[in-house]
Every structure is written in C-alpha cells, then in structure tokens.
Structure 1
Amino acid sequence: MAITPPDPSLSDRSATPSSPEACISTSKIFLVLILICLSPLARAADPAGGGALSEAEGDGANPFSDYVPPPEDSDVSENEHFQYFGNQFGIMVGTGIQWFDGNMGRLYNAAALNDNMSFRWWWLWDFRFMGTIGYTRSKHRFDAYPVGDTQVPIRRIDLDFRYFFDAKNLSATFTAMHPFALLGFSNVKRSQLFEDLGSIEAESKMAASVGGGLQFDITPRSTRLDLELKYSRTIFRDAEDQTFVPVGIPNLRGSMYSFTTSVMWMF
C-alpha cells in the first residue's frame, strides 16, 4: 500500500492562524490596557476641573461675591463732621426784632428792629459745639410823661455757645432742621436820649442768655439760613425807678428777648 505524503499547503493552513482575526484580538487587548492605564489620570484630573467649575458657578450664583465690608468707624469719623455740618468757620449777617417784657416792655411799648453780625466757629474736638462772637444793635423809642420823647439805642456784644442735637437718625424733616440749644453772656450798653430834657444817660450791664433755634441748608456745607430765639436777663440801674408812676408804670423791671433771622457763609 502506497503512502501518500501530506499536502504541504494544507499543513501550512492548519498551523498558521487567520491574520485578520489575530489583529482584531490584539487591538482589543491593547485598547483595554490603554484605558486601564489612563483611568487613574482621569480620576486625578477630574476633581480639579470640577472644583474650578464649581467655584465659577458659585461666584456667578452668589450675589454677595463682590461685597466689600464698610470702613472702620475711625475712617468714617474723619469725614462725617464735614459731610453733616460743613466747614469749621462761618460769618453770619442777619436782622430781626428785639423786645422787653414786664414794665420796661410797657414803657417801650413795641418791638424794635435789630441788626446782627457775628463770627462763628465749631470746636475742633466736637462739631456739635459752636462758639459765637457777635454784635447786635437796636433802637427803641417811647414818649411818656414826665420825660417826653426818648430814644433808647441798645448795643450788645454777645458770646454764645450752641449745641447741635444729633438728628441724623430721625426723619428727613428733622434732620434738615439742625436744631440747637444756646447758652451765652452779653455786655449790654443802653443809652437814653431825652430829647425834651436835652440830656443823655448811658450804662453797661452784663446779661445771661438762653435760647435755641434751627438752621437750614441753602447750599449744603456752604450756606445756611439761621433762626434764633434768645432770652436775656439783665438788671439796669433804673430797674426800681419810679419816674413813670404817674402813667401807671411803678418800676422798670423787664427781661429782653430777640428773634433773629440770619444767613451764614461757612469757610
């Protein structure tokens, strides 16, 4: 029996695997290995990216991200006085009326116009305190028996101190008024010109004053309208004089009042 040798072509096909199938299997293996190697890097990079995104989203979603804290009280106090009160010095010019009560008011019978000019300043350590040096003049007149027609010029040199109340936390109406209280002293010079008798009498007395008023801004921190009501107590030399008893005035006691409207320029 003859033995037929095997066909070489068949042995080659059975020993060698198919090329396309081998390439596909190898590619899958390499792809899996690459993904396994890259997965730790992806996990490490993801928190950073996610954090940046969260931070950006947080800034966009937070309405207070641009909030700036207010300055300290010490920083505010440097400008608060100027913003509320204005400059430190001022000159005031005004006019008003002056009158007396008591028996002196009965003799003088009417209020008299007065003129006023003063220099004002705020204390450096507290702008709520204002000092005032002023000059006021007025002229009263009466005609009574037995002296007849008489002119009574009155001159005053005033030293007053004002305290401005804190009205910033009240309504806008009260804040704009700048209310103040007043305490002061005056040197009052009174002259009496007895025209029918042809004689003059003059004397100077000290007076103590209290009062109050309001200020309104005309130009903020620059110009103000000032309203002041003042009561002054003094005793003249003829307070117990009985010259005018025949006309029903037993003495000349009386206190002095004034109401003045002024304009103040601050510098």
Structure 2
Amino acid sequence: MLGCFMVIPVWQAHAAEADKPGAGNKKTDKTLQPEDDDFTSTPFTEYGEFNEDAEEAEESKFFQQGRFFGVSLRSGYEGLTGNRGQLWRGGFPVIDVKVHYWFDFTVAIDIGINSVKHYYEGTSTAGRTDISMFQMGLDVKYYFDTRNLSAALTAAHPYVLAGIASFSKNESSDNDKIVNSDSGMGFAAGGGLEFAIKQKKIYLSLEGKYHFINFKDTYTQNFIKTHSLPDLTGGFYQTLLGIMFTW
C-alpha cells in the first residue's frame, strides 16, 4: 500500500512534464502540429485573402484585355463664352495630338499639344487681328465601370477628365506688324467616349472639354470704346473627333 502512494506522485510529475511545450506531446506542442493546423483563421485574414485574390484576378484580366499605351490625332472646333466670345471669331480647325497611358481599366493620363486659330475685326483703321493659340497639357481620365450596364454604354467606354495646361497666344493685325504675345495657365474639365473600331487596337474618340484660362488681357479695358466690352472674360470649349491607336 505504501508503494502505491509513492508511485502516484512520481506519475503526476511525469504527466506534468509531458504537458510542457517541447516535450513531444502532439496535443500541446505546436511545433509538432502541421502548419495548416497551427494557423487560426479569422474574418480579417479571410477578407484579406479574398481581396488579394480579387486584385490578382483584376490585374490578370487587365494584362489580357486592357490597353497600355496609345496615340491619338483629333480635330474639331473651339468656341468661346463671355465677352471674349463676343469679340473672337474662328476656332476651326483645332489640331490635337496626344499620347495616352492606362494604369488599369479605370484610370489613365493624357499628355498632348493643341493648336487653333481665331481672329477679330477691329476698327476701320486697325483692320483684322489674327490670333494663334497653342497649349500643352496633362489630363487625368476616369472611365466608368459599365460591365453591368447596357451593351451600348459598355461599347462607348465613357469617361470624365480633369486637367491642367499651359496656354500661349500670339496676336498680329493687318496694319500692325508687331506680334503681341500672351500666356497663362488654365484648368480643364470634360468627358468623352471611345468606340472600338478594332478592339484594343483602333478607337473612334469623341471628346468635349471646357478650359478656364486667365490671360494677361482678361481684364483689359481696351475694347470699351470700339466694341463696348468692359473686359475679355470668358472661357474656351472644344469638341474633338479623331482616331486613337492603342496597344
């Protein structure tokens, strides 16, 4: 009987030692458990894995079906609003050349140059004044996700844009050989459509844009007597149509 009582404490000590980590007990020692069993899944880890899978699938789809670079040549008309619009005439044709880069299906940037000619009639002694406009700018475009919309909207690739540009203009009159130059910074807002002629290769591009420009002569009073215009405030708008090549 005394021997039994002496064995029990020894057995309890061995059991406690076996339960310690690193003692070789598969139930308590995580080092002996398979790595998959050692990982505890939570809603946060599952959500993260889902996001990674979705992003990888979207990136893979973009590399297979998306556009990366492009070049476009477009032409159109430029009109004006406000007092400057009452004075200036012309505005056709606009020549517009751009390079395009797509980050993904929804975001792209354009870098381009744009030129157009205007004119206005002065007094009988001053004659006609010709105006050459030139701009260089950067636009950021956002394409709407139309996958769940009608086929017509999906085929049109609608987008909105915002941009910034540097503008310059040269004015020369019939009777005055001096060229008056002016420049200014401007902002643009607009939107457009791109219809695929050949998917991922050739597109018909239609775009409308409004420019907010502040030239040095914006608040001039030189036309009060001759044209009854207190200043030359007003904006510029363009409608462009052309071809875009992408790859």
TM-score, normalization: structure 1? 0.68
Q: Aligned pair 1:162/2:167, yes or no?
A: no
Match of 1:134 among 85, 95, 112: 112
Cα distance between partner residues in 1 of 2:224 and 2:55: 66
1:250 is matched by which residue type in structure 2? P
Q: How far apart are the structure 2 equivalents of 1:162 and 1:141?
A: 32
Question: What CA RMSD, in Å, does the superposition of the two structures yield over aligned residues?
Answer: 1.7
Q: Tell which deviates more after alignment, 212-221 or 101-110.
A: 101-110
Q: Is 1:82–1:221's contact at 8 Å kept on the other side of the alignment?
A: no
Look up the match of 2:25: none
Contact 1:83 1:221 in 2 (8 A): no
CA distance in 2, matches of 1:97, 1:119: 20
For residues 95-134 of structure 1, give each alpha carbon's deviation from its aligned partner in whole angstroms, at most 9, with x where no partner exists: 01111111111111343320011100011xx331111100
> Which blocks of at least 5 consecutive residues in structure 1 are unaligned?
1-71
Aligned to 2:14: none
Tell whether 2:138 aligns with 1:153.
Answer: no
Task: Indicate which of 195, 220, 226 corresponds to 1:216.
Answer: 195
SS at match of 2:240: strand
Unaligned residue ranges in structure 2 (runs of 5+): 1-52
Q: Does 1:144 align with 2:119?
A: no
Task: State yes or no: 1:106 paired with 2:86.
Answer: yes
TM-score by length of 2: 0.73
Please say if 1:77 is aligned against 2:77.
Answer: no
- Judge conservation of contact 1:99–1:257 (CA < 8 Å) in 2: yes
Question: CA separation in 2, counterparts of 1:199 and 1:224?
Answer: 43
Q: What is the CA-CA distance between 1:236 and the residue it aligns to?
A: 1.0
Q: What residue is the counterpart of 2:219 in the other structure?
A: 240
- Summarize the Cα distance change of 1:75–1:251 in structure 2 as closer, same or farther, 3 Å threshold: closer
Change (3 A) 1:164 1:248: same
Identity of aligned residues (%): 30
Aligned mate of 1:204, from 169, 183, 195 = 183
CA deviation map 1:34-93 (0-9, x unaligned): xxxxxxxxxxxxxxxxxxxxxxxxxxxxxxxxxxxxxx7466424422565x32000011
CA distance in 2, matches of 1:118, 1:109: 26
- Give the aligned length: 193
| Aligned pairs for 1:1-267 within 5 A | 73=54, 76-82=57-63, 86-123=66-103, 126-145=104-123, 147-246=126-225, 247-267=227-247
User: What secondary structure is seen at the aligned counterpart in 2 of 1:174?
Assistant: helix
Q: Which moved more, 1:167-176 or 1:244-253?
A: 244-253
Alpha-carbon distance change, 82 to 222 in structure 1, aligned in 2, over 3 angstroms: farther
